[in-house]
Amino acid sequence: MALLVLALLLPACGEEPPPPLRPVFDELIENIRAKDYGAVYDVLSVDVKGNCDRKATEWRARIASVEEDEKEAKYFAGVTKSWGVTLEELAGMSGRDFFIRGTEVNASPQLVALTKAEVLGKPIVEGQRGKIRVRTPLRRELTIFFVLEHGAWRLVLP
């Protein structure tokens, strides 16, 4: 019996507790306020970064068809104008570039509201997942989700 208890306790001895979540959230908010979307990108989860890469790849494929597709040509003419880039620059964007430029141009009201949000209670950490509840100036309550990846908290976006 003693060996069984010892066997169950040993794996837990080597595990480090996750780092505090609140400082990561606070730094995220400061980076949003400073419009440092490169730093915001750096805190995104692997899955979210993968989504950015997939979207950039999807846009490259769509851009390749603009000469044959008038609808796509009009769409990307609008994107290049609003983003202040050429079609060639847009086609060459990485997932990181796509996230940064897209956020600069289209910073969502939710993202901006986060910079003035009130944190409700303490962060909740459940294993590899963490969350922070906030109330925006418009009294809307939101939950900001994080995941622990390689010992660091990463932001999970819907």
Per-residue pLDDT tens over the stretch 126-157: 999 999 999 988 899 999 999 999 999 999 98
Average pLDDT score over the chain: 88
pTM greater than 0.85 (yes/no): no
User: What is each CA distance from 104 to 123, 138, 141, 146, in whole angstroms?
Assistant: 28, 23, 24, 22
The pLDDT of residue 86: 95
The helix/strand/coil state of 29 is helix
The pLDDT of residue 112: 77
The pLDDT of residue 47: 96
User: What is each CA distance from 139 to 111, 112, 114, 122, 144, in whole angstroms?
Assistant: 15, 14, 12, 18, 15
The pLDDT of residue 10: 47
Mean pLDDT of 69-87: 94
Q: Provide the pLDDT confidence category of residue 13 given band limits of 50, 70 and 90.
A: low
Share of the chain above pLDDT 70, in %: 89
Share of the chain above pLDDT 90, in %: 73
Q: What residue spans define the domains of the chain? A: 36-106, 107-158
Evaluate whether 21 touches 132 at the Cβ level (below 8 Å).
yes
Residue-wise pLDDT tens digits, 84-103: 999 999 999 999 999 999 88
